Amino acid sequence: MLRDEVLDASERLSNDLEVAFSVPPYDSSDRKRVSLLACSLSLEHADAVRLLLASTLIPSALVAHRAQYEAAVRGVWAFYAASDGHIDKLASELTVDAEKSAKNLPSTSEMMISLGSKAPAVAYQVLSNFKDHSWNALNSFAHAGIHPLKRHEHGFPPLLIEQTQKNANAIAIVSAMQAAVLTGRQPLVHKIGTFQIKYQDVLPPRL
């Protein structure tokens, strides 16, 4: 069971991060629109993680956590590393042909490789550290592998549940920071950065 103080602080963080989405990007290009949509989707997944953890639906929370991470990576990659062709695929109207075309987009691992030399160092470090420590287990949860089966059988350690929420909070800050960058407003970027200190008790120490 997740401690009430962690849940409450995580909800306040989520509410504070909404300010990053209250201002539109500094232009209406498809690149910025795709990046913003992916970041907004990631933040919605973060809310799902928190609500599922609060309801003790832990395996489902971890599946949502994987989706949250992938959306955050997509949002950062779309702005810094995606080709114009990639953006065209993601910005097109949803049709059968567009769906087929989008299947050829880079995987999460491929996006992370390209971000290594193009994304801001702090964002890349958070996303890379998360992938190094959590990706295999989250894939297992998404595909009914050994992790969810054994946890479903034996239960979840409280520490794992709390770490999941803290990791979700860290990825949420990355998404909100990217959304703030898209606005071109430095004071807003700075404001999102202050949340790393304000909410440090519900963030992993490596953020």
**For 57-105, what is each residue's pLDDT tens digit?**
999 999 999 999 999 999 999 999 999 999 999 998 887 876 777 778 9
Assess contact for 17 and 47: CB atoms under 8 A. Answer: no
Q: What is the C-alpha to C-alpha distance for residues 53 and 5, in angstroms, rounded to an integer?
A: 13
Question: What mean pLDDT do residues 118-128 have?
Answer: 93
Instruction: Please say if the pLDDT value at position 205 is more than 90.
Output: no
Q: Which two tokens stand for residue 87?
A: 């953006």
- Kindly report which listed range (41-45, 110-114, 139-143) carries the lowest average pLDDT score: 139-143
Domain residue extents for the chain: 4-92+107-202
Question: What mean pLDDT do residues 116-129 have?
Answer: 93
Please report the pLDDT score of residue 46 as a whole number: 98
Q: Which two tokens stand for residue 51?
A: 């609500």
Q: What is the C-alpha to C-alpha distance for residues 21 and 32, in angstroms, rounded to an integer?
A: 13
pTM over 0.85: yes
Cα angle 125, 148, 132 (rounded to 5 degrees) comes to 15
Question: What mean pLDDT do residues 41-54 have?
Answer: 98
pLDDT digits over 147-166, tens only?
Answer: 999 998 999 999 999 999 99
Please report the pLDDT score of residue 93 as a whole number: 81
The whole-chain average pLDDT of the chain stands at: 94
Question: What mean pLDDT do residues 123-137 have?
Answer: 93
Please report the pLDDT score of residue 159 as a whole number: 92
Instruction: Please say if the pLDDT value at position 206 is more than 70.
Output: no
